[in-house]
Amino acid sequence: MAAIIDRTLTSIDTENSDPIDLAYFCKLLFICGVTKIEAPPQVFSKMKDLLLTDPISWDQSKTYFLKVVNGIFEFEPNELIEKNLDFSKIQVLRLKKIRLIGLEDLLIQDYETIFHDLLNSGAHYLDLCPGNHKHCASAIALEWLLMGGQSISCSFGSCNNDANLEEILMALKINGKSNLVGDLSVLREIKDVYERMTGKTIPEKKAVIGEGIFKVESGIHVDGILKNPLIYEPFSPESVGNIREIVLGKHSGQRSVIYKLRELSLSESCINEILFKLKEHCSKAGKSFSDLDLLTLVSEVHNDY
Partner 1 sequence: MTIEKKYIVDTTLRDGEQSPGIAFTLKEKVSIAKALDIMGVSRIEAGVPAMGKEECQAFEKIKLTCKKADVVAWNRMNLNDIQASIDCGADIIHVCVPASSLLIEEKLHMSNDAVLEMIESCAERIHRYNKEFSIGLEDASRADWTFVEEIIKKASTLNATTIRFADTVGILSPRTCSHYINQINTEMDLEIHMHNDLGMAVANSVQGTISGAKYIDCTLFGIGERAGNCNLEHFLEALEGQYDFGVSLEDLRKHQSKLEHIIFKNKMCS
Looking at 43-51, 82-90, 164-172, 191-199, which segment touches partner 1 (CB under 8 A)? 164-172
Which string of x and - marks every residue 49-68 that binds partner 1 (by CB under 8 A)? Answer: --------------------
Under a CB-based contact definition with an 8 Å cutoff, are residues 170 and 161 in contact? no
Q: At what angle do helices 137-146 and 165-174 cross, to 10 degrees?
A: 40
272 near partner 1 (CB under 8 A): no
DSSP secondary structure code for residue 152 in this structure: E
- In the list 195, 205, 243, 300, the residue contacting partner 1 (rule: CB under 8 A) is 205
In whole angstroms, give the CA distance from residue 179 to residue 226: 31
In whole angstroms, give the CA distance from residue 118 to residue 84: 13
210 near partner 1 (CB under 8 A): yes
Instruction: Specify the residue, 35 or 256, whose C-beta has the smaller distance to partner 1.
Output: 256
271 near partner 1 (CB under 8 A): no
- The closest alpha carbon to 239, from 303, 178, 299, belongs to 178
274 near partner 1 (CB under 8 A): no
Looking at 3-11, 48-56, 71-79, 286-294, which segment touches partner 1 (CB under 8 A)? 286-294
285 near partner 1 (CB under 8 A): yes
249 near partner 1 (CB under 8 A): yes
Task: For the CB of residue 276, give the shortest distance to partner 1 in the complex, in Å.
Answer: 9
Q: At what angle do helices 219-227 and 254-263 cross, to 10 degrees?
A: 60
CA angle 298, 302, 305 (to 5 degrees): 155
In whole angstroms, give the CA distance from residue 114 to residue 103: 11
Task: For the CB of residue 129, give the shortest distance to partner 1 in the complex, in Å.
Answer: 16
3-state SS string over 62-118? CCEEEEEECCEEEEEECCCEEEECCHHHHHHHCCCEEEEEECCCHHHCCHHHHHHHH
> How many residues make contact with partner 1 (CB under 8 A)?
57
108 near partner 1 (CB under 8 A): yes
Q: Which residues bind partner 1 (CB under 8 A)?
A: 107-108, 112, 133-136, 138-140, 142-143, 146, 164, 167, 170-171, 174-175, 204-208, 210, 212-218, 220-221, 223-224, 227-228, 230-235, 247, 249-251, 279-280, 282-288
